[in-house]
Amino acid sequence: MTERRLPPIDYVGIASMVLTIVSTIWIASYAPRRPPLAPSVALLAAAAALLLLNAILLARLRAFAWTTFRRVAFWALVAYVVIAGMIEFAFVHDGTRGAVLLLLTLSLASFAVNVPVLLGFGVARYQAAD
């Protein structure tokens, strides 16, 4: 059986996650002082661009196990929204405010979307197309 050629959704998703993680580490490295926000904004913008690219690549797939992808990605999304919500609560409870809170929230959103897409794609790529 030959493997189908699929777009590099997994690599693009991992690159987006790496940029998101580096952005978050940049902010955390300045705690409790206020960090310079420009590097974090640039990293998150690049991560968002890669996330958008992944959405476009996924939308162009025709012969793909969409039922499996949706099932896996949906439940992973439910789990990661709960996880991101708990982390967001910790940020707010610890007194994070303003632009720093916004950037950390966007980082959590990127993380909470990227992981389910990667899990769903990783499972569905080896299933028979719908």
- Assess whether pLDDT exceeds 80 at residue 104: yes
Average pLDDT on 15-21 reads 98
- Pair 117, 13: CB distance under 8 Å: yes
Task: Decide: helix, strand or coil at residue 40.
Answer: helix
User: Which of 98, 96, 114 has its CA nearest to residue 16?
Assistant: 114
Residue 2 lies in a domain: no
Supply the mean pLDDT for the chain: 95
pLDDT band at 130 (very low <50, low <70, confident <90, very high): confident
Q: What pLDDT is stored for residue 1 in this prediction?
A: 45
Q: Is residue 27 included in any domain, yes or no?
A: yes
88-93 contact pairs (CB < 8 A, 24+):
none
Q: Does residue 4 fall inside a structural domain?
A: no
Spell out the alpha helix ranges (H) of 60-97.
66-93
Residue 90 belongs to some domain of the structure: yes
Asked, for residue 96, whether it belongs to a domain, the answer is: yes
The answer to whether residue 29 is domain-embedded is: yes
CA dist 19 and 48 (Å) reads 9
Work out the average pLDDT over 52-60.
97
Residue 105 structural domain: 9-124
**101 part of a folded domain:** yes
pLDDT confidence of 32, banded at 50, 70, 90?
confident
pLDDT of 3 above 70: no
Average pLDDT score over residue span 38-50: 98
Number of structural domains in the chain: 1
Residue 56 counted as domain residue: yes
Is there a cis peptide before residue 36, judged by omega within 30 degrees of 0? no
Instruction: Report the predicted TM-score, pTM, of the whole model to 2 decimal places.
Output: 0.91
